[in-house]
Amino acid sequence: MDSAQEDGYSSDDIRTVSDDCDWKLVPEYNSVYPWDFDFSYEATITSPGKETPVEIASHQFEDRAKGLESGVASVEDEGEGAFSEFTDRSYFVYGASGSDSDKTTYVLLAQVKSVVYEVRMDATSDDSTSSLVPKSAFESEVKKLASRMEVDLGIWVPE
C-alpha cells in the first residue's frame, strides 16, 4: 500500500509504502510440516517535517520492538543485533507459541535505512515430546532473507 495513492494524501504528508505477505515455507531444516511465514514492512519514503525518514523508521522500530513478544507464550531467547551484518538494527524473539503448545515461534524485527520489516515464522514440532524447533533452524532461514533484503533495500530505498 502506498499512502500517496490514498484519498486525501498531500505532498505535506509523510509518504509510506507497506505490505504484509503470508506464505507456507518448506525450510532447509528437516521438518515434516511446512512453516507459517509472515513478512511485513513499512518504508518511510518522504518526510516533509523536521524528522528524516530514517528517524521516523527508528521510532517505529522502537515502538514495535516493545510488543514483539506478543504471541510468544514462553520466550526462550530474545535480543538485539541478531543480524547486524545485514541490518542497521534488529531485535528477535524465540520461544513457544502462545496459540499452540507444539508450535515454535521466531520473530525478527529489523530496520534498514528508512524501512522497518518483520519476519515471523511458526513451526510445528515433529516429535511427540513437543520440544521446540531449534533456534538455529529459524536463523538459517532468516539469514537468507535478511541478506537479500540488505541488497534490495540498499538499491531501492533512498538515503
Contact 140, 29 (CB under 8 A): yes
Q: Domains in the chain, please, with CATH?
A: 3-156 (3.40.1000)
- 84-108 pLDDT tens trace: 999 999 999 999 987 666 889 999 9
pTM of the predicted model, to two decimals? 0.90
Rg of the chain, C-alpha, whole Å: 17
What is the Cα–Cα distance from 143 to 14, expressed in whole angstroms? 31
- 16-46 pLDDT tens trace: 999 999 999 999 888 888 999 999 999 999 8
